[in-house]
Amino acid sequence: MEPGSGRDDSDKACPFALVENVRGARRLAAVSLEAARLRLWPGQKVTDAVAVVPDLLTAEAEPEKDAEALSALVDWCVRFSPAVAADAPDGLFLDVGGVAHLFGGEAEMLADFQGRLAANGLPFRCTIADTPGAAWALAHYGADGTIAPPAGQGELIAPLPPAALRLDPDAAAQIERLGLRRIGQLMELPRAPLARRFGQATLDRLDQALGRTKEALTFRRPPTPWVARLAFFEPISAPEDLARVAHDVTAKLCERLEREGQGARKFEVCFHRVDGKALPVAVGLSLPGRDAARVAKLFAPKLETVDPGFGIDVVTIAAFEVEPVSGRQVKLDARKDAAVEDGLAPLVDRLANRLGEDRVWRAVPVESHVPELSVGRAPALNDKPCDQSSWDPEAPRPVRLFRRPEPVEDVLALTPDDPPRQFRWRGRLHRVSRAEGPERLGEEWWKREIEEVSAAHVRDYYRVEDADGQRFWLFRAGLYDPREPAKWWLHGLFG
């Protein structure tokens, strides 16, 4: 089985290619069927390809993502046979020995398989043969959907080119150069001279395809994840039962987590209904945890959404973002802040799970010259106490920064950029006794329309103190321009 190289989904007419860096040169890594039809090929230089097909759409090749997708497909295939082996980058082997009868025979199984793949929109080619080698050869070079009769693969692969044997590309090229263009010709050659010239590996590949030697495939076994499962004799459906089993299955997993010194940031309980439908419910923690009671409490409000239908016969739980956590501090002489942390975390978790995850946060510095953008939101509880980068003490910012600057009037200031002597804010006149500034901040030109960008678009900020000792953060918008009265704003208050 081999998914094809087509990855175009939305626009069929547009040639598309994935691009990678090969020793400093940008080359195509894979091309869509459309692009292949325009004679682009993997390995071609991008500049050459674009010279030929200027409207070629490209995207960066992501081999890791491809591998992930392939392994997901491998996992999916387990429904057909437990023995699945990935054949990177774009193929997989399925050992159907002994399982085909479950589907009513090889032909029926293949049809079912093809149907399901097609339903998922995956281009593919698949064949069945006695040996992985023959199946590979037929899938890559033979007719799609071929089912080789038992012990009949030799005849079927004989007309295929030697490259179909999964040979080392150099050897395959040289074999073809000798005029040996079909596997059949190779089969007829005396074995010793062939091995002498092209190595035992070449003979092995031939023998593997023909079933003369066995080929060991590495079947994928999913790594033991952090999962637990409870099955019931009688389907359950009462809400309190759901809550109970959720707690039980959580406890089962948490016990294991505790035993192995791990904690998780995310738990997902899945209720499997008798009709085959699965209903997942997930909760998140701000710190890795394994306190079953605490986790179960977080699940409780969410169970209302679970519709048990005709009943639930299995419940599973999986933990994610698992990482080691030290043993729990419970002693009286534990350090105080640890206790605070302990006390804070459940509160934050309860708030977050009730109000929504994005509602509980902590303010952190963001690198920006624009005052209102220099504050960001971070998770309420962070492993790292606070980021090293903090606000610059040389550029003081008010304790209270207004969301919107408020206009001020009656400003008296010497041009072009002396601090104001007085200003009126919310109806009250303030006389400035001390002032510092201006701190000139330019606009973020890249966010403006090009025509609107101007070096005159600045804010001149002043820190001023009035006669009462109140401190304000004022700014004048725009560079001094004698033709226009200056506009002044109050943007924040210091203590």
Partner 1 sequence: MTRYAELQAASNFSFLRGASHPGELVFGADALGMEAIGICDRNSLAGVVRAWSEMQRRREAGSTIRALTGCRLDFEDGTPSLLVYPSDREAYGRLTRLLTLGQRRAEKGECHLRWTDFLDHAQGQLALVVPPDRLDAKFEADLRRISGELPDVWLAAARRYGARDLQRLARLQGLAQAHGAPMVAVNDVLYHGPERRALQDVLTCIREGCTIHEAGLRLQANAERHLKSPEEMARLFARFPGAVERSVEIAGRIGFDLSQLRYEYPDEPVPPGKTAIQHLHDLAWEGAAWRFPAGVPERERKTIEHELHLIEKLDFPNYFLTVHDIVRWAREQGILCQGRGSAANSLVCFCLGITAVDPTKPGQDLLFSRFISETRGEPPDIDVDFEHERREEVMQYVYDRYGRDRAAIVATVIHYRPRMAIRQVGKALGLTEDITAALANTVWGSYGDGVPDAHIRQTGLDPDAPEIRRATALAQELLGFPRHLSQHVGGYVLTKRRLDETVPIGNAAMPDRTFIEWDKDDIDALGLMKVDVLALGMLTALKKSFDLLGIADVAEIPQEEPGVYEMLSKADSVGVFQVESRAQMSMLPRMRPSTFYDLVIEVAIVRPGPIQGDMVHPYLRRREGKEQVEYPSPAPEHGRADELESILKKTLGVPLFQEQAMRIAIEAAKFSDSEADGLRRSMATFRHYGSVGEYGVKFVEGMVARGYDPAFAQRCFQQIEGFGSYGFPESHAISFALLVYASAWVKWKRPDVFCVALLNSQPMGFYQPAQLVRDAREHGVEVRPPDVLASEWDCALEEPGRGLGPERDPLRVVRLGFRQIKGFKKEDADLIVQARQAGAATLQEIALASGVNRRALELLAEADAFASLGLSRRDALWAVKGLSTDIRAQKEAPLLARQSLKEAQVMLPFMSAPQEVAEDYRTTSLSLKAHPMTFFREELARIGAVPCAALAGMRDRRRVSAGGIVLVRQRPGTAKGVVFLTLEDETGIANVVVWRDVFEANRRTVMGASFLVVHGQLQKEGEVVHLVAERFTDLSPRLGAMRDDEGPAPQVRSNVTGRLIRSRDFH
In the complex with partner 1, the residue whose CB is nearer, 308 or 437, is: 437
> Contacting partner 1 (CB under 8 A), which of 12, 22, 25, 39?
39
Q: Minimum distance from CB of 422 to partner 1 (Å)?
A: 20
Site for partner 1 in 82-141 (CB under 8 A): 140-141
List CB contacts of 129: < 8 A, sequence separation 6 or more.
135, 138, 146, 147, 148, 153, 156
Name residues whose C-beta falls within 8 Å of residue 268's C-beta, 6 or more positions apart in sequence: 280, 281, 282, 317, 318, 319, 320
Taking CB under 8 A as the criterion, the residue among 68, 112, 406, 436 binding partner 1 is 436
Handedness of CA 94, 97, 103, 104 (dihedral sign): positive
Secondary structure in 3-state letters for 222-267: CCCCCEEEEEEEEEECCHHHHHHHHHHHHHHHHHHHHHCCEEEEEE
Least CB distance from residue 186 to partner 1, whole Å? 11
- Tell me, what DSSP letter sits at residue 207? H
346 scored as a contact of partner 1 (CB under 8 A): no
CB-nearer residue toward partner 1: 157 or 287: 157
> Under the phi-then-psi rule, with left for phi > 0, alpha for psi from -120 to 50, and beta for the rest, what region is 340?
alpha
Residue 126 and residue 148: Cα distance in Å, rounded? 12
Using CB under 8 A as the binding rule, whether residue 433 contacts partner 1 is answered as no
DSSP designation for 358: G
Alpha-carbon span 65 to 328, nearest angstrom: 38
Instruction: Give dist(CA 463, CA 395) in Å, integer.
Output: 10
One symbol per residue from 255 to 294: x for binding partner 1 (CB under 8 A), - otherwise; what is it? ----------------------------------------
Q: Does 37 bind partner 1 (CB under 8 A)?
A: no
The site that binds partner 1 (CB under 8 A) totals a number of residues, namely 65
Bridge-based pairing of strands 278-289 and 124-125 is unpaired
Which residues between 149 and 188 bind partner 1 (CB under 8 A)? 159-161, 163, 174, 177-182, 185
Q: Is 487 in the site for partner 1 (CB under 8 A)?
A: no
Within 354-383, the residues that bind partner 1 by CB under 8 A are: 366-369
Burial class of residue 159, CB neighbours in 10 A (0-12, 13-18, 19+): middle
**C-beta closer to partner 1: residue 205 or 463:** 463
- Cα 42–Cα 43–Cα 45 angle in degrees, nearest 5: 115
9 binds partner 1 (CB under 8 A): no
Single out the segment in contact with partner 1 by CB under 8 A; choices: 66-74, 347-355, 394-402, 425-433. Answer: 394-402
SS3 147: strand
Cβ closer to partner 1: 68 or 188?
188
CB neighbours (10 Å) of residue 288?
A: 18
Residue 13 in contact with partner 1, rule: CB under 8 A: no
Q: Is the Cβ of residue 11 or residue 75 nearer to partner 1 in the bound state?
A: 11
H or E stretch including 94?
strand 91-94
8 Å CB contact between 390 and 433: no
Q: For partner 1, give the closer residue by CB, 50 or 78.
A: 50
Under the binding rule (CB under 8 A), the answer on residue 482 touching partner 1 is no
User: Where in 452-471 is the site for partner 1 (CB under 8 A)?
Assistant: 453, 455, 458, 460-461, 463
Binder among 13, 119, 192, 363 for partner 1 (CB under 8 A):
192
Residue 196 sits in the site that holds partner 1 (CB under 8 A): yes
In the complex, the smallest distance separating the C-beta of residue 112 from partner 1, rounded to whole angstroms, is: 26
Residues at the interface with partner 1 (CB under 8 A): 26, 38-39, 41-43, 46-47, 50-55, 57-60, 140-142, 159-161, 163, 174, 177-182, 185, 189-190, 192-193, 196-198, 366-369, 392, 394-396, 436-442, 445-446, 449-450, 453, 455, 458, 460-461, 463
